[in-house]
Each structure stands twice: as structure tokens, then as C-alpha cells.
A and B are shown apart, each in its own frame.
Chain A
Amino acid sequence: QVQLQESGPGLVKPSETLSLTCTVSGGSISSFYWSWVRQPPGKGLEWIGYIYYGGNTDYNRSLKSRVTISVDTPKNQFSLRLSAVTAADTAVYYCARNLGAPGGIDVWGQGTTVTVSS
């Protein structure tokens, strides 16, 4: 059974870069699309972007200028970098697996809370 685990700092200063890593266990990162989704406190879900194991990416246009998603196949990990963060980027960040490009998200990490504050 595939499991996902997010890791990274829980506190980031404004204007700095948020960096998170998702470790995939119980299965290979090869094949599937791998997404990052976030949820601000008390609000709904927002898709940030995804990466295909081969390296192709697509991002939410509202974040595109600040987002980079990368994959490390040998380590079975993929990562998120979000630059120039503000308080509006405070959220629970989930890594997730997509059932193909048009598919739903069938596996989610437990989520990690990232707070942007000085």
C-alpha cells in the first residue's frame, strides 16, 4: 500500500522560500502524476501543481512564477519549492498521487502545516 509523507520546516519567514519533500513508500514513484495541494486555515483545497515521474510539470497559473516541483526517482521523493512567501501562503500542504492526468487523487499524505511569519 502506497504511503506518502511530507517533511520540511513548519515555519518560514516572509519573502523566503518554502521547501517541502514528499517521500513515497510502499511503491515506486515511477508512473503516476504526483501533486501538491494546499489548504489555508478554515478554507478549501487548492491544487498547486504536479509532476510526472519523467519530469513533466504543470502548475497553477496563480502560483506559477513562484513554484517549482521536482522529482528524485532514486530516492522515491518529489519536492515543492515556493518562493517569496507571504502570510497568504500559510496552509496545510499535502502531497498526493493522481490517478493519471484526468484522474482523481487516490493517495494523500497526512499533510504538514506551514506557517509564514517573522
Chain B
Amino acid sequence: SYVLTQPPSVSVAPGETAKISCGTNNIGSKSVHWYHQRPGQAPVLVISYDHDRPSGIPERFSGSNSGNTATLTISRVEAGDEGDYYCQVWDASTDPLYVFGTGTKVTV
């Protein structure tokens, strides 16, 4: 098992850009998915397979993954982007198969 390390919190002004990192050794060799969770609600998939946006997710959300760090970028941040963000990987060589990041609270 391994830990996906995220910054505990990120604060960003409306209209600016937020970047959330997710780090572990050689994460660039794995597929990373990102979720947004508002208080009291279920998570929502915002980026899959490093950089793919599911249907309905604004283009303001983008992802990248290389080396030891994956990054979720939220451009032109809006108040509705507040909440917790989690990265997640699937790794057949470890247990558990699915590992979630430690989570980042985004404050706008």
C-alpha cells in the first residue's frame, strides 16, 4: 500500500487558477482520477485517466500526470468549486487496488 499525498488546503480567489497536487513515487505510470465532493454530498468524478473530462464537467477542469506528481487544475475558479478534492489511482500490484488521496479542501 502507499499514500497519495495532497495538500490539506488550497485557497484561491474567484476567477483565479487553483492547482491541486497528488504525489507518490512514479505516479506518472498510473492512471489518476479526480473527484470533487461538496459538504454532505457524494463525490463527483471530474477528471478520469489523468486528463479526460466526463460529460458535463466544465472545460475549466484539467489534469496532468508525470513523474511523481499528478495535478488537477481549475481555471477561472467559481464559488461552486469549493469543497474537497480527492485523487485516486488503481494499481493491480498493490493492496488495496484503489487508493484515494488524502484530500484537499479548496476554499474560494
A27 interface hit (Cβ, 8 Å): no
Q: Decide yes or no whether B61 CB sits under 8 A from chain A.
A: no
Q: Given the known A-B contacts A45-B43, A106-B48, are A101 and B100 also in contact in the complex, defined by CB atoms under 8 Å? A: no
Task: Say if the beta carbon of A46 comes within 8 Å of chain B.
Answer: yes
Query: In chain B, what residue has the closest Cβ to A107?
Result: B45
Is the CB–CB distance between B48 and A102 below 8 Å? no
Contacts of B33 in A (CB 8 A): 103-105
Contact A111 B48 (CB under 8 A): no
Q: Is the interface of A mostly helix, strand, loop or mixed?
A: loop
Closest 4 CB pairs of A and B: A104-B33, A47-B98, A108-B42, A60-B96
Number of interface residues of A (CB under 8 A): 23
Q: Does B44 contact A (CB under 8 A)?
A: yes
Nearest A residue to B42 by beta-carbon distance? A108
In the assembled complex, the Cα of A64 lies from the Cα of B98 at a distance in Å of 14
How far, in Å, is A12 (CB) from chain B's closest CB? 21
Of the listed residues B49, B92, B96, the one surrounded by the most CB atoms of chain A closer than 10 A to its CB is: B96
Which B75-91 residues have a C-beta within 8 angstroms of A? 86, 88, 90
B103 on interface, CB distance cutoff 8 Å? yes
Q: Which residues of B in the span 52-66 have a Cβ within 8 Å of any Cβ on A?
A: 54
**Contact present for B49 and A103 (CB under 8 Å):** yes
- Mask: chain A, 85-104; 1 = CB below 8 Å from B; 0 = not: 00000000010000101111
Residues of B near A58 (CB, < 8 A) are 97
Whether A102 pairs with B54 at a CB distance below 8 angstroms is: no
CA distance A94 to B43 in the complex (A): 9
B69 at the A/B interface (Cβ < 8 Å)?
no
Structural contact, B102 and A104, CB atoms closer than 8 A: no
Distance in angstroms from A34 CB to nearest chain B CB is 13
- Looking at the assembled complex, report how far the CB atom of B100 sits from the nearest CB atom of chain A, in whole angstroms: 4
The smallest beta-carbon distance between B85 and chain A, in angstroms, is 11
Known: A105-B43, A106-B54, A111-B42. A47 touches B100 (CB 8 A): yes
CB distance from B92 to the nearest CB of A (A): 8
In the docked arrangement, what's the CA distance between A15 and B10, Å?
40
